[in-house]
Amino acid sequence: SAVISQKPSRDICQRGTSLTIQCQVDSQVTMMFWYRQQPGQSLTLIATANQGSEATYESGFVIDKFPISRPNLTFSTLTVSNMSPEDSSIYLCSVDIYNEQFFGPGTRLTVL
Amino acid sequence: DAKTTQPPSMDCAEGRAANLPCNHSTISGNEYVYWYRQIHSQGPQYIIHGLKNNETNEMASLIITEDRKSSTLILPHATLRDTAVYYCIVRDYNTDKLIFGTGTRLQVFP
């Protein structure tokens, strides 16, 4: 299994600003994933982040809006740039270990 | 896009078996069926997965039809704490990506 922590757990931000979300795992993992869950909706995959390479983004998500860093095998960040109220969501990271994906607790973002 | 369809909601009496169906008619040979659940305001929790054989663990059983076009998650003795949204996911073994559908909201009542 894996223990995943995210910071911050929640935040309220002004439109036009940026927020960086951190994801820390207690073991080394190759693949990390970032998801968004809009209010009342299911999870949507934003990107896959492998250590040592550029993140791979899903359709509808671009690096300029959601830059991702993956400096080592236990850590990743997702930045939500130039935020608008439509970015209000829960952002979750996950890791894949032996064919199971473990999810962090999520970061609840509200954009005013 | 998600490759699964599930009923939007189901009810189950506490102590009874909860049987959650899932259709995945376009599943490919190397794709696994995964089940996760999400209890309100928490990250999704892994339940079980399978390829073509039925699987059982301490949480649930997974029954996959012989043609693999559908499956059923069984919670043998539902409790109030099993109230959650249950997601059936077809996962590509090569990419490791999970593409979530809309899920089934299971309400367990006393």
Residuewise pLDDT in 10s, chain B (110 residues)? 778 999 999 999 999 999 999 999 999 888 999 999 999 878 999 999 999 989 999 999 999 999 999 999 999 999 999 999 999 999 877 778 888 889 999 999 99
Q: What's the full length of chain B, in residues?
A: 110
Q: pLDDT value at position B6? A: 96
List the single residue in A with minimal CA-CA distance to B85: A42
E strands of chain A, at which residues?
Answer: 4-7, 10-13, 19-25, 31-37, 43-50, 56-57, 68-72, 75-80, 89-97, 100-103, 107-111
Say if the Cβ atoms of B100 and A94 lie within 8 Å.
no
List the single residue in A with minimal CA-CA distance to B98: A45
CB A67 within 8 A of CB A61: no
Say if the Cβ atoms of A100 and B46 lie within 8 Å.
yes
Predicted confidence (pLDDT) per residue in A49-87, tens digit: 988 888 999 999 999 999 999 999 999 999 999 999 999
Q: pLDDT value at position B93? A: 73
Buried residues in B42-73 as b, exposed as e (16+ CB within 10 A)? ebbebbbbbeeeebeeeebbbbbeeebebbbb
